[in-house]
């Protein structure tokens, strides 16, 4: 089966932080805070369940799915790889263990796989558009993620071949309109950020005009985000900024964001844009359909 992404590799497991398994414990606790009434009905007899992929997409979320069932005393045997292109209806995995434990993990595991795979599928489609058009820049997600579920959603971006953008508020300093308005000016905001961020954190400033971008760069910003620009206006502004500051010996990254979707992203591709970020990679994304079926007794 075809691989979706150059990032399709089990080594992605090694990116996960030390506390990732506690997240899964919390998911299970949320879904069964007291008595397991349905589990009482089925009991603890050993059984097998099959994970079916029922719609096209990219398989993503394998370590999370496996950990859900391992915490419940079950074993998972995979028949697809992370990042593989799913062709429905396809047998993706077998889960072995006590039927009650399988059913405890069922909905949590399916919800996670559906969303993680949906994000990976969106990222994969965007990567295909990038390659088709010869765009040399980066296509990235945003911080518009589900509270408590960011790790899975950012993981899905990587599996699909997109950039995660900053992981959190501590990963990069991004100064948006509210920061600037609260501080008084772009220059003041950048100077205060540099005073605490040090040399290791990049500073990005959201800009609504070339003049704001010039102020941000002059103050020491590493990246300027042209927000809610469209079409030729974006390309002209990005080209002017790059050319103007290159003449002064200064290299700066230009990002565009706001209103970008899978349907219109091709209109944003140009040599002067280094990063295109999309909140739609996580917001409103279509899920990939999976089901988990316990095998009937003979």
Residues with active-site annotation: 144
Contact 155, 60 (CB under 8 A): yes
Task: Single out the residue of 85, 163, 70, 164 nearest to residue 117, CA to CA.
Answer: 85
**Cα distances (Å, whole numbers) of residue 137 to 127, 154, 240:** 11, 19, 17
SS3 at position 79:
coil
231-246 helix and 210-219 helix, angle to the nearest 10 degrees: 30
Q: How far apart are CA 7 and CA 28, in angstroms?
A: 29
CA distances from 51 to 109, 111, 113, 190 (A): 10, 13, 10, 50
**How big is the CA angle at 140 (ends 137 and 144), to the nearest 5 degrees?**
155
Q: What one-character-per-residue DSSP string does 232-291 give? A: HHHHHHHHHHHHHHHTTT---EEEEESS--TTTGGGG--TT--EEE-GGGTSSPPPPPEE
**CA R_g for the chain:** 23
User: If we measure between CA atoms, which residue out of 239, 237, 283 comes closest to residue 261?
Assistant: 283
């Amino acid at each position: 089966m075809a691989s979706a992404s150059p990032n399709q590799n089990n080594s992605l497991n090694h990116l996960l932080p030390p506390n990732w398994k506690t997240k899964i414990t919390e998911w299970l606790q949320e879904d069964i805070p007291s008595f397991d009434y349905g589990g009482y009905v089925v009991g603890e007899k050993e059984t097998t369940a099959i994970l079916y992929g029922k719609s096209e997409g990219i398989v993503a979320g394998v370590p999370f799915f496996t950990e859900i069932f391992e915490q419940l005393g079950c074993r998972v045997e995979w028949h697809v790889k992370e990042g593989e292109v799913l062709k429905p209806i396809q047998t993706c995995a077998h889960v072995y263990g006590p039927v009650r434990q399988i059913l405890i993990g069922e909905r949590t595991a399916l919800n996670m796989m559906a969303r993680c795979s949906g994000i990976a599928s969106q990222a994969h489609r965007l990567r295909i558009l990038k390659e088709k058009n010869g765009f040399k820049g980066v296509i990235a997600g945003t911080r518009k993620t589900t509270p408590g579920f960011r790790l899975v959603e950012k993981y899905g971006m990587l599996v699909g071949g997109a950039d995660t953008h900053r992981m959190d508020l501590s990963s990069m300093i991004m100064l948006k309109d509210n920061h600037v308005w609260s501080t008084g000016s772009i220059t003041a905001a950048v100077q205060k950020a540099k005073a605490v961020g040090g040399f290791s954190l990049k500073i990005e400033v959201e800009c609504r005009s070339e003049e704001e971008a010039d102020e941000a760069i002059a103050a020491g910003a590493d990246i300027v985000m042209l927000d809610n620009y469209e079409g030729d206006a974006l390309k002209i502004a990005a080209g002017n900024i790059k050319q103007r500051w290159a003449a002064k010996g200064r290299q700066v990254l230009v990002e565009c964001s706001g209103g970008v979707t899978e349907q219109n992203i091709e209109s944003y591709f140009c040599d002067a844009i280094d990063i295109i970020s999309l909140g739609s990679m996580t917001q409103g994304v279509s899920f990939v359909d999976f089901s988990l079926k316990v095998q009937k007794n003979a």
